[in-house]
Structure 1
Amino acid sequence: MKKYILFLFFISATTFSQDVKDKIAKETCECTTKLDLDEMDSSDLELNFGLCMLESYNKHINEFAENEKLDFENNAQMEKFGEEIALKMLSFCPDMILKLGEGYKNDETVSNDLTIEGIFNGTKAETFFNVIIKEPTGKTTKLILLDYFENAYLITDKLLKNNQEVKVTYYEAKLFDSKSNSFVATKIITNIIQK
């Protein structure tokens, strides 16, 4: 009898988890309908897809069992979760998934990375996690820490000190800000080096 009850519990927990993932897939589809797919390159599209998915995940985080919650530092787990949601999205918005797939197929990754040099002026958590750099001209530039890169630990472990000279590599993308309901031009860090 105990085995039967445990089996039923396991089946219902798995089904519940699948229902939450269906909700996230549907909400991600709804979020991506606000995107102008024709105006985006594959990296912008992938980035905004990820942001839509994570926004929905954060709404439903308490519906996941503790051992199923995402560890944002575990790239393999994040990738697997993204693939599961994308697969479920095929039922709700197949055009979006096909558009994402085209990006992988047609992407002849040409590096569009830009660089700035300046003084590290701290960090600030806002809609995104901002890194502030003061350029030699006196201009202050905010960059977003969004993706993992090799030297990210310099920022996350607070190893950089204010007024330290740095060289920052970044790319520009338009991210959808759900608060303002508009796309915002942003600079996204791909590397940071102490000078």
Structure 2
Amino acid sequence: MRKIVLFFLFISAHAFSQDVKEIIAKETCECTSKLDLDALNSSDLELKFGLCMLESYNKHIGEFPENQRLDFQDNAQMEKFGEEIALKMLEFCTEIISKLGENHDDSDEVEKNDSSVKGIYNGFLIDAFYTIFIKDSNDKTFELVVLDYFKNVNLITNKLIENSQEIEVYYYEADLFYPKSNKFISTKIITDIIKK
């Protein structure tokens, strides 16, 4: 019985922290939307984005369980948190996320060793991650995730791809943690999209 209670407490805490992250994403959107985006270069915008996000986080820090609070000395944790918030912001202020990545250097270009798949765009799903679906010529469906900024991300954020449109997607594979299934799953992560 005790294990069941602990399990439900864990699930509730996880769902609650997800809601808090959504609130932080919305507030970060509101904060950054007050900026003159055209007057800022990408590094200044990144700095302002970080300040807006931390301002919102500090307002809601008490809503995070003790073991999920940020350690400001832990760069990897801070970067991961920033990526999670930016991913959630795609739903509320896509233009800001696009602007954040606009002037990234050539290291963000598609790697030559990235895999690719050609097929028909078959919609998207927002769950643990923003996932798009592609059906190739053999009728096999591929699920690919938006995790980082890439050159043509605006095709997704601005919904410029229509169902049944032919596209080519470049990706690499990584093991991502999926909270609902409580395990790491090999996932295709998009590095670029080209409309045919």
TM-score when normalising by structure 2: 0.52
Shift of residue 6, structure 1, vs aligned partner: 1.5
Shift of residue 81, structure 1, vs aligned partner: 0.5
Q: Which residue of 2 aligns with 1:18?
A: 18
Alignment of 1:1-195 (within 5 A): 1-105=1-105
User: Percent identity between the aligned chains?
Assistant: 72
> What secondary structure does 1:35 align onto?
coil
Letter in 1 for 2:63: E
Q: How large is the RMSD of aligned CA atoms in angstroms?
A: 1.4
Structure 2, unaligned stretches of length 5 or more? 108-196
CA pair 26-106 structure 1, distance change in 2 beyond 3 A: farther
Q: Which residue of 2 aligns with 1:174?
A: none
Distance, in Å, in 2 between the alignment partners of 1:68 and 1:50 is 18
Shift of residue 3, structure 1, vs aligned partner: 2.2
Shift of residue 106, structure 1, vs aligned partner: 7.0
Shift of residue 18, structure 1, vs aligned partner: 0.4
Q: Which residue of 1 aligns with 2:146?
A: none
Letter in 2 for 1:15: A
Distance, in Å, in 1 between the alignment partners of 2:56 and 2:8 is 28
Distance, in Å, in 2 between the alignment partners of 1:64 and 1:24 is 12
State the Cα deviation string for residues 175-194 of structure 1 (Å, max 9, x = none): xxxxxxxxxxxxxxxxxxxx
Shift of residue 103, structure 1, vs aligned partner: 2.5
Distance, in Å, in 2 between the alignment partners of 1:21 and 1:93 is 15
Distance, in Å, in 1 between the alignment partners of 2:2 and 2:62 is 27
> What secondary structure does 2:72 align onto?
coil
Distance, in Å, in 2 between the alignment partners of 1:14 and 1:21 is 11
State the Cα deviation string for residues 87-110 of structure 1 (Å, max 9, x = none): 010111111111111122579xxx
Distance, in Å, in 1 between the alignment partners of 2:103 and 2:28 is 18
Letter in 2 for 1:87: L
Greater C-alpha Rg: 1
TM-score when normalising by structure 1: 0.53
Distance, in Å, in 2 between the alignment partners of 1:30 and 1:106 is 30
